[in-house]
Structure 1
Amino acid sequence: MSRPPMTGRQGPALPSGRARLAGYAGLALIAGAVAVMLAVALLGTSAAVPELGGGDPPWSFRAAPSDGLVILLCWTVVIAGGLGVGVALYGLGRGWRPARGVLLAGTVVSVAALALVPPAGSTDVLNYAVYGRIASLGQDPYVTAPAWLHKIGDPVGELAPLAWRHAPSVYGPLATWAQLAASRLGGGSMAGTVLVLKLMTALAFLLSALLLDRLAGPGRERRVRVHLLWSLNPLMLWHVVLGGHIDGLGVLPLLAAFLVLRRGGVAAGLLSGVLLGAAAAVKAPFILAGAGLAWAARRSATTFLGMVMGVVAALVGAYATQGPEALGNVAGKIGAHSLADPWRVVTDALGLGAEPSVLEGRLTLGAALLIGLLLCWRLPSGPPDLPSVRPALAWCLCWLLTSPVQHPWYDALLFPLLALMPACRLDGLLIARGVVTSLIYLPGASGLLEPTAMTRWISETYRPWVAPLAADLIIVCVIALSLAGALRPRPPVVRR
């Protein structure tokens, strides 16, 4: 019997020289971005690195770098890091497959190094330390503002960032418990408390990377993808590990909820609901991912009811340990604005000013619903073994794109979900969005920069005009690509 002729057949991708070059160039850019991050932190207190009081780790040099140098280094980290992830994904999509062990080793080394140096790019981790200190002294951080701690001459309170000195905590009960634990372990030292907080977040980041590796399954391409978009993504390493943002603590229980629900059954539904509630008890927006979990559980009434009961039990139990101010402070964030408000150009053009308005609220809600429905319709099919990821990404993304309150570390909710989805044009758009948003908040530790041409351009042109217009363009691109059906996954590379 004669064999049929051998035509093109599906098989393991054979990378071209261009694919290998792109992949390794991407990794080189990522490694360079991580190295510059370490340099920024090790230079010591600057426009990017807040004062920690000294005396305890994390230690650094006292190099007193100029504002211009610090801004240049910070912008290099974000732009090179985002470009590195994009270029590496390009190589991955065309057959390049780096050794998984190299990626895991690089993740561990990067996270360990960034966790042991001072934070950079934001003062939020100092706020966490202050709220933890307030709680450790027997006060309620949802009622008592950091100004009280500063007034009594507390060594932690004296280093409280000015911008939040009169603002009680807006974080969930689990975040408050983590801050309290860090304060007790760090003692009466800002540096010690910040170090404990960063170590907590770094550990959660590494465990999240392991969960993503497990969720990705045995396919090598899927595993490399999750490590490029999360574990070695300089945007996430900068904000979550080096910056120590509490969002990293919420990612871990959220991913665990996806993993548990995959088993099915009432017990899995209940536990996944508890884990989702725990994530939302760190930061409220994590509850949006529950849309995906609910969609995946809808086929089984017992699983769905178990999940709902788990969420309710976790949230009620967590918030019952706090006063009503805990919920009130979270609700008070509704209608707020931030520097990265995508509606800034629109509201300025309509003469609405910076104050929240009914019209802006309606625009935001309408745009979010439109984008959410479009993404539910047009996003590529998610992994067959993870039906919860696709709708979770759709509803988390529609909020992240349109909310007037935008911070780049909020993308800790986005990138793990994106990493579990097939590659498509959304990847480049969301990496670009992360870069644009990150640059708004840099250098991040000082509000009074030396007036130079660079700092004037950032404050007078980039923040009020370039960045909002770029964010609006990305929203338009997401809508246009969805309507055109252009978010289909990239076809696999075929060996011939």
Structure 2
Amino acid sequence: MSRVASDATPGADRATGEAATLTRRGLLTVAFVLLLVVGLALPHAAAPDLGPRGWAPGTILPITLTPAAVTATLWTAYALGAAGVVLALRQGMRALSTPVVGGLALAAALTTPFGSADHVNYAAYGRILALGDDPWLVSPVSWRGDADPVVSAVESPWREEPSVYGPFATLLHGLGSLVGGDNLRETVWLWQLVVIASWLAVRWCLRRLLPGHEGRVDALWTANPLVFATGVLGAHVDMLAAAFVVGAVWAVQRYAGVGGAVLAGTFGGLALSSKFTYAVVLLAILLALRSRRVARGAVMIGVAALVAGVLHLWAGPHVFDQVGRSAKAVALSSPWRMLLEVGGGGPTVRSVISVLAALAAVGFAVCLARLTTPRGDGEGARALRWVVVLGGGYALAAAYSLPWYDVLVWSALPAVVSGVGVARVGLVELALLARLTVMSFAYTPGRVLGMTPGVEAVTMTVRKEVAPVLLLAVWAGVVVAALRARPRAPGVPNRPIG
């Protein structure tokens, strides 16, 4: 009888594994389909109307989603997607085939961006630049009588705000505006192509930086519905900056000597000139190169400074005005919001929060350093691990943060090994997935306009009351896990916790 049971075990395990694989594929497929339905539908509470399509793709699905329907659809997609990512990490998954990846890219190119109206802001600032004015100095509502067909489409609360985006990203927006002209949909679609190309470029670089781990790359990046939704379908500039970050790391590993340092410095300069916080890649690479590579590091920093310096000189003296003004902002979903409200919300308490957030970022970086090692001993894996440590510390602690700010961390996450937690999935992956899921829920539909009072009440409750508590729990989990972690050799995960 025992022999029969023993003989049956492999078959039962195989059946269980196949069922789990089917479940994971089903969860991810449904999540992607729901996201694409939102992107292919008529304008709604999550996606602003971009006007006449011109030669850009128009609406594929002639269906109208109510504010409640679009919110429920996105929340369902995020929940199913998060569960699918957990299963993918637990089971391991094969790399996606080229036709599947190409199909996702094509489908994304047919959608209208959703989750915010940031893409309209990009088009507006690019239009202002293309027509000879300074997008870092003038606000959309004050530009040319608020009568331009592209710039006047900017939505609250950004109509009164000059650009906060870096000079290189804005240069691309300006070039897109030269082609799209006064057609908003055409201008936005050209930017979508840049974002999709950036998403594919990150995958291409990661597969070469992490040979043998192509399935993990797709589990965390390509086939991750939350990254796809917030980064690609949201058409955010963070995707472009992340591509330069991973490209810089790839250049360091691919080309030894001065050539690799020059290319890495160029990509690093373009990354920080797209979004300033992405300058973290330069520090990450320096830490990965270690002291015996001082000359390469110096060349990289020098080239990055040259590239960024030229771009910022071209942009003019006002390029950092908005960054300075927004430095003390506190997001509604942030745990720091509790302290802001208790303290009365004045400038003094905001200054205190800024200091505490900076200290917390250092603390979380220390925690992530204790919980992770690089997946291999190459310079690329080491650099990406430092991107996770430094970028993840900042993302967790920042007083003002939005879901797409996490794109940087997820672009590097495949390169780390972390202690094993619930469901045999890495603690760091679980913590960051929990954060991204909570943030994605909190910023649905994502626009200020277009919601009914009932939907607004529900979504704002999630954003202002539920999300801060859940994010505080993520903080606690990371700290406790780090305190319990034991030192280990590179590449060896911690023993299971809990």
TM-score (norm 2): 0.89
1:67 aligns with 2:67: yes
1:174 aligns with 2:172: no
Structure 1 residue identity aligned to 2:272: A
Following superposition of structure 1 onto structure 2, how do residues 382-401 of structure 1 map, counting pairs within 5 Å?
382-385=375-378, 386-401=381-396
| Residue 441 of structure 1, CA deviation | 1.2
483 and 294 in structure 1: CA distance in 2 versus 1, 3 angstrom threshold: same
* CA distance in structure 2 between the partners assigned to 1:448 and 1:49 by the alignment: 9
Q: Is the 8 A contact 1:209 1:231 kept in 2?
A: yes
| Residue 152 of structure 1, CA deviation | 4.5
Give 2:102's match in structure 1, choosing from 108, 113, 116.
108
* CA distance in structure 2 between the partners assigned to 1:147 and 1:344 by the alignment: 29
| Residue 139 of structure 1, CA deviation | 0.8
| Residue 491 of structure 1, CA deviation | 6.5
Structure 2 residue identity aligned to 1:440: A
Q: Is the 8 A contact 1:136 1:184 kept in 2?
A: yes
Following superposition of structure 1 onto structure 2, how do residues 153-172 of structure 1 map, counting pairs within 5 Å?
153-172=147-166
Q: Is the 8 A contact 1:267 1:306 kept in 2?
A: no
CA deviation profile, 1:141-163 (whole Å, cap 9, x unmatched): 11121113472521112322121
* Number of the residue aligned with 2:322: 329
* Number of the residue aligned with 1:4: none
Give 1:37's match in structure 2, choosing from 35, 38, 45.
35
356 and 133 in structure 1: CA distance in 2 versus 1, 3 angstrom threshold: farther
Q: Is the 8 A contact 2:284 2:386 kept in 1?
A: yes
CA deviation profile, 1:421-442 (whole Å, cap 9, x unmatched): 1252111111111010011111
Higher-helix-fraction structure: 2
* Number of the residue aligned with 1:215: 209
* Number of the residue aligned with 1:240: 231
Following superposition of structure 1 onto structure 2, how do residues 275-286 of structure 1 map, counting pairs within 5 Å?
275-286=267-278
> In angstroms, what is the RMSD of aligned CA positions?
2.3
Q: Is the 8 A contact 2:248 2:264 kept in 1?
A: yes
* Number of the residue aligned with 2:312: 319
* CA distance in structure 2 between the partners assigned to 1:340 and 1:227 by the alignment: 29
445 and 115 in structure 1: CA distance in 2 versus 1, 3 angstrom threshold: farther
Structure 2 residue identity aligned to 1:274: T
1:361 aligns with 2:354: yes
The range that moved more, 343-352 or 322-331, is 343-352
* CA distance in structure 1 between the partners assigned to 2:146 and 2:350 by the alignment: 38
Q: Tell me the SS of whatever aligns to 1:167.
A: coil
Q: Is the 8 A contact 2:330 2:337 kept in 1?
A: no
| Residue 165 of structure 1, CA deviation | 0.6
* Number of the residue aligned with 1:80: 80
* CA distance in structure 2 between the partners assigned to 1:151 and 1:442 by the alignment: 32
Q: Which has the higher contact order (CA 8 A, sep 6+)?
A: 1
* CA distance in structure 2 between the partners assigned to 1:242 and 1:150 by the alignment: 31
1:230 aligns with 2:227: no
487 and 67 in structure 1: CA distance in 2 versus 1, 3 angstrom threshold: farther
70 and 378 in structure 1: CA distance in 2 versus 1, 3 angstrom threshold: closer
CA deviation profile, 1:431-474 (whole Å, cap 9, x unmatched): 1110100111111234352122x542322x31112101111111
229 and 428 in structure 1: CA distance in 2 versus 1, 3 angstrom threshold: same
* CA distance in structure 2 between the partners assigned to 1:416 and 1:435 by the alignment: 16
1:25 aligns with 2:26: no
101 and 118 in structure 1: CA distance in 2 versus 1, 3 angstrom threshold: closer
Structure 2 residue identity aligned to 1:214: R
Q: Is the 8 A contact 2:374 2:415 kept in 1?
A: no
* Number of the residue aligned with 2:126: 132
Q: Tell me the SS of whatever aligns to 1:244.
A: coil
CA deviation profile, 1:99-118 (whole Å, cap 9, x unmatched): x353x432221121112211
* CA distance in structure 2 between the partners assigned to 1:15 and 1:472 by the alignment: 38
* CA distance in structure 2 between the partners assigned to 1:356 and 1:127 by the alignment: 30
CA deviation profile, 1:347-389 (whole Å, cap 9, x unmatched): 3344446985232122112211112223234423442112212
CA deviation profile, 1:257-279 (whole Å, cap 9, x unmatched): 11111243233223212211111
Structure 2 residue identity aligned to 1:37: L
Give 2:137's match in structure 1, choosing from 143, 156, 171.
143
* CA distance in structure 2 between the partners assigned to 1:273 and 1:253 by the alignment: 10
101 and 69 in structure 1: CA distance in 2 versus 1, 3 angstrom threshold: closer
420 and 487 in structure 1: CA distance in 2 versus 1, 3 angstrom threshold: farther
* CA distance in structure 2 between the partners assigned to 1:487 and 1:463 by the alignment: 37
CA deviation profile, 1:181-205 (whole Å, cap 9, x unmatched): 1111112111111111111111111
Structure 1 stretches of 4+ moved >6 Å: 486-492
Q: Tell me the SS of whatever aligns to 1:422.
A: strand
* Number of the residue aligned with 1:58: 57
Q: Is the 8 A contact 1:368 1:398 kept in 2?
A: yes
| Residue 297 of structure 1, CA deviation | 2.2
The range that moved more, 434-443 or 152-161, is 152-161
Give 2:414's match in structure 1, choosing from 404, 416, 419.
419
* CA distance in structure 2 between the partners assigned to 1:55 and 1:278 by the alignment: 31
1:379 aligns with 2:372: yes
Structure 1 residue identity aligned to 2:139: A
Give 2:280's match in structure 1, choosing from 257, 280, 288.
288
* Number of the residue aligned with 1:188: 182
207 and 456 in structure 1: CA distance in 2 versus 1, 3 angstrom threshold: same
1:462 aligns with 2:462: yes
Q: Is the 8 A contact 1:156 1:188 kept in 2?
A: yes
* Number of the residue aligned with 2:3: none
| Residue 140 of structure 1, CA deviation | 0.9
Residue correspondences, number: 468
Q: Tell me the SS of whatever aligns to 1:155.
A: coil
Unaligned runs of 5+ in 2: 1-11, 419-425
Identity of aligned residues (%): 27
* CA distance in structure 1 between the partners assigned to 2:448 and 2:258 by the alignment: 50
| Residue 80 of structure 1, CA deviation | 1.3
Unaligned runs of 5+ in 1: 1-13
* CA distance in structure 2 between the partners assigned to 1:446 and 1:284 by the alignment: 26
Q: Is the 8 A contact 1:30 1:232 kept in 2?
A: yes
